[in-house]
Structures are given as structure tokens and as C-alpha cells.
Chain A
Amino acid sequence: GAVVSQHPSRVICKSGTSVKIECRSLDFQATTMFWYRQFPKQSLMLMATSNEGSKATYEQGVEKDKFLINHASLTLSTLTVTSAHPEDSSFYICSARLDESSYNEQFFGPGTRLTVL
């Protein structure tokens, strides 16, 4: 149980295009999902908290108009990188918080590697 999927696992795009990444909790409901990015040999940096049915909460320094988040259902959150540039190339990972958990357990997807040419 507690499986989170991400799609696509890898994407290469041209500068200026938009890329959508999906995060799904496959066997549990997740009112709250989180989006992180990770640079090589560095830890995960929280970008935003995605709440089902409401606006996402962005961390300081993260442009909400560039990283659009939609959490339309209890099992799906999407991150759209708009007008991507080479500096947006990174490993993007989502996590889903188990709604019924009292320990704030969060389960991670396998990540999406974005390369912007």
C-alpha cells in the first residue's frame, strides 16, 4: 500500500515550452501533497504544498505563476512548469500525505527528471 506514482519519469523539452507533471496516490487518499525539487547531491527543497480544492501554498522564492499547481482530486496533483528555461532543469519529486495518519507520514513518488534544452 501507500504507493505514489509520477508521470512522466523523464522529460526533455525546449526552452520556452510548458511541461506538466502528474502525481497520483494510487491506493490512498491524500488531501495534501507536496512538491519538491532536488539538485544533484543535494537534499529535497520544498516548493509548494498542494491542498485538494484550494490554492497551493508556495515557499518563499518559488514563483507561483511559473510553477502552476492543481490538486483537483484526492488522488491527483499536477505541477506545470510554464515557459521552462534551462535553469529549471532538475529532479522534481512529489509526496502525498496519508490522510488518516496521525504521524504525518508522507510517501514519495519516483520523481521526474526535467531537462530543458
Chain B
Amino acid sequence: QKEVEQDPGPLSVPEGAIVSLNCTYSNSAFQYFMWYRQYSRKGPELLMYTYSSGNKEDGRFTAQVDKSSKYISLFIRDSQPSDSATYLCAMSAAYTGRRALTFGSGTRLQVQP
């Protein structure tokens, strides 16, 4: 079993739709949670980061973490064709521990105009 599970998609939605992207994980030591967006043949771009449980909102993006369920989500409101990319969840253990990120496999999102 992988430490981080993410549905690879592709997920296809019409422009303006609300998108929900999710990851589950098995390592209870993970405390830091991030979402990256990666366009084809480019490096990942940090979108959101959260610590422990709770919600965080930034513009059209909302990140949620439920540590009791080991489940994190990224919501995209009013999705745009420019949001079409692969979205990677990433997480790591506590600050003083292993600092490398463990990534999900990525979900490919396509927003149809």
C-alpha cells in the first residue's frame, strides 16, 4: 500500500464547475500538507499548504485536512480552462523530522470551455 493514495483521473468538468480533488494517506506522522499544480513538462507550482487539521482558503481554492480520517481535499471554485493541469498532493512529517515530501500520484484535471 502506498503511503499516499490519489485518484489519477482524468477528471473532466465544464468551465465554472466546482472541482474536488482528494488524497488519503496512511502515515499518522504527516503534519504538513500541500497541493501543487503541474502543467505538462513543467515543475510543480505550490498552490496551498496547511498544517494539521482544518481549512484554508485562498481565492478560488480551499484546502481541507481531516487528520482523523487521514483525508485531504482541494476544492476549486468557478473552474477555468487554465486550471487544466495535474494536481499533486504532498505531505511531510513534523518539522524536525524527515523533510522530504511524499507525493500522491497526481490527478489530471481537464476543464472544458
Give the contacting residue for B104; candidates A43, A49, A106; CB below 8 A. Answer: A43
> B91 to nearest A CB, angstroms?
9
Q: Are B46 and A105 in contact (CB under 8 A)?
A: yes
Describe B's contact surface by its main secondary structure.
loop
A108-B99 contact in complex given A43-B104, A43-B106, C-beta closer than 8 Å: no
Say whether B51 faces chain A, with CB atoms less than 8 Å apart.
yes
Q: Are A44 and B103 in contact (CB under 8 A)?
A: yes
> B46 to nearest A CB, angstroms?
6
A108-B43 contact in complex given A42-B105, A43-B88, A43-B104, C-beta closer than 8 Å: yes
Q: Are B100 and A110 in contact (CB under 8 A)?
A: no
Which B residues touch A46, using CB under 8 A? 100-101
A49-B103 contact in complex given A105-B34, A108-B36, A110-B43, C-beta closer than 8 Å: no
Closest to B33 in A: A103
Q: Are A104 and B46 in contact (CB under 8 A)?
A: no
Say whether A67 faces chain B, with CB atoms less than 8 Å apart.
no
Contact with A along B30-46 (1 / 0, CB 8 A): 00101010000111111
Q: Are A43 and B105 in contact (CB under 8 A)?
A: yes
Q: Are B44 and A108 in contact (CB under 8 A)?
A: yes
